[in-house]
Amino acid sequence: MGRRIQGQRRGRGTPTFRAPSHRYKAKLDHKVADDDVIAGTVVDIEHDPARSAPVAVVEFEDGDQRMVLAAEGVGVGDTVEVGITAAIEPGNTLPLAEIPEGVPVSNVESQPGDGGTFARSSGVNATLITHERDAAVVQLPSGEVKRLSPQCRATIGVVAGGGRTEKPYVKAGKKHHKMRARGTKWPRVRGVAMNAVDHPFGGGGRQHPGRPKSVSRHAPPGRKVGDIASKRTGRGGKSGRGGKNK
């Protein structure tokens, strides 16, 4: 009988596979403005192990101090505003209905009041394309276009920390600490490089799966690796593998 594969080990929920969320600074969401606009001052810029972008500590006029995603160009001592009459400046938060078309936005809500769902990674932004009668059309960093409620809020500008992915890790130790901070098991060994006892694709005189990679949705956990419940595999189109449309 073979050993448990990594997917089965992960399901136990041991510390090896759990994210160290007790080290994370805060849940970042938009402040609710009771008035038309409320201003705050950026008192610090911090690093949060939970995310790739820097976090701004903002102290608002009502005494509330909270962490928000830092927008590019916003620094300590700057003023940010939240509300429907906030200025169209980087770092300010307001509903999509109040934002002009073509403006880059970040930390966009998917539902009004959820605190922000889209465009939250360092150096990314969404773009408000147009306003419709009952929706705001937003293009996400992936290129996908979504129709959202005009009452969904967003922050003006690009998320700070751009260019992070362009810097190489250079040393495996650097990558180790990065993955450990997120609770991700690393490095990840390929199944074909394992012994037959450790993985369905393991063993053999050379590194190859040795069997079809397609597997049923109802396969037992120890066999559910590869292309799970795939409708089609390979590079071929509708006309067949490697063929041209006729």
DSSP, res 118: B
pLDDT computed for residue 236 by the predictor: 76
User: Residue 53: is it exposed, middle or buried by C-beta count within 10 angstroms (0-12/13-18/19+)?
Assistant: buried
With a cut of 60, say whether residue 243 has pLDDT above it: no
Instruction: Kindly list the distances between the CA atom of residue 193 and the CA atoms of 3, 118, 135, 166, 215, in Å, as whole numbers in the listed order.
Output: 15, 37, 50, 29, 20
- CATH number of the domain that residue 158 is part of: 2.30.30.30
Instruction: Give CA angle at 153 (137, 78), nearest 5°.
Output: 125
Instruction: Kindly list the distances between the CA atom of residue 24 and the CA atoms of 48, 50, 202, 226, in Å, as whole numbers in the listed order.
Output: 6, 5, 37, 33
Task: State the chain's mean pLDDT as an integer.
Answer: 93
- CATH number of the domain that residue 173 is part of: 4.10.950.10
| Same domain, yes or no: 208 and 141 | no
Q: Is 119 helix (H, G, I), strand (E, B) or coil?
A: coil
pLDDT computed for residue 220 by the predictor: 95
Please give the Cα distance from 120 to 124 (Å, whole number): 7
* pLDDT tens-place string over residues 142-189: 999 999 999 999 999 999 999 999 999 999 999 999 999 988 999 999
**Is residue 5 domain-resident?**
no
With a cut of 50, say whether residue 213 has pLDDT above it: yes
Count of residues making up the chain? 246
* pLDDT tens-place string over residues 108-129: 999 999 999 999 999 999 999 9
Q: Tell me which residue range forms the domain holding 63.
A: 25-164
Residue 246 — pLDDT band, cuts 50, 70, 90?
Answer: very low
pLDDT computed for residue 33 by the predictor: 84
Please choose, from the candidates 28, 189, 38, 201, the residue with its C-alpha nearest in 3D space to the C-alpha of residue 121: 28
Please give the Cα distance from 199 to 202 (Å, whole number): 5
**Is residue 147 domain-resident?**
yes
- Greater confidence, 139 or 50? 139
Q: Which two tokens stand for residue 63?
A: 């005494």
Peptide bond into 220 cis (omega under 30): no
**Is residue 184 domain-resident?**
yes
Percent of the chain residues past pLDDT 90, beyond the cut: 90
**Is residue 243 domain-resident?**
no
Longest dimension (CA), the chain: 71
Residue type, 231: K
Please give the Cα distance from 16 to 106 (Å, whole number): 32
**Is residue 62 domain-resident?**
yes
**Is residue 236 domain-resident?**
no
With a cut of 80, say whether residue 210 has pLDDT above it: yes
* pLDDT tens-place string over residues 21-74: 999 999 999 999 877 899 999 999 999 999 999 999 999 999 999 999 999 999
Give the strands of the sheet with 104-106, arranged side by side.
Answer: 65-69, 55-60, 37-46, 79-83, 93-95, 153-156, 104-106, 126-131, 136-139, 145-148
| Same domain, yes or no: 33 and 91 | yes
pTM for this predicted structure: 0.83
Please give the Cα distance from 201 to 211 (Å, whole number): 8
Please give the Cα distance from 29 to 187 (Å, whole number): 32
| Same domain, yes or no: 224 and 104 | no
| Sole residue written with tokens 């037992």 | 220
Please give the Cα distance from 169 to 239 (Å, whole number): 43
Please give the Cα distance from 218 to 215 (Å, whole number): 8
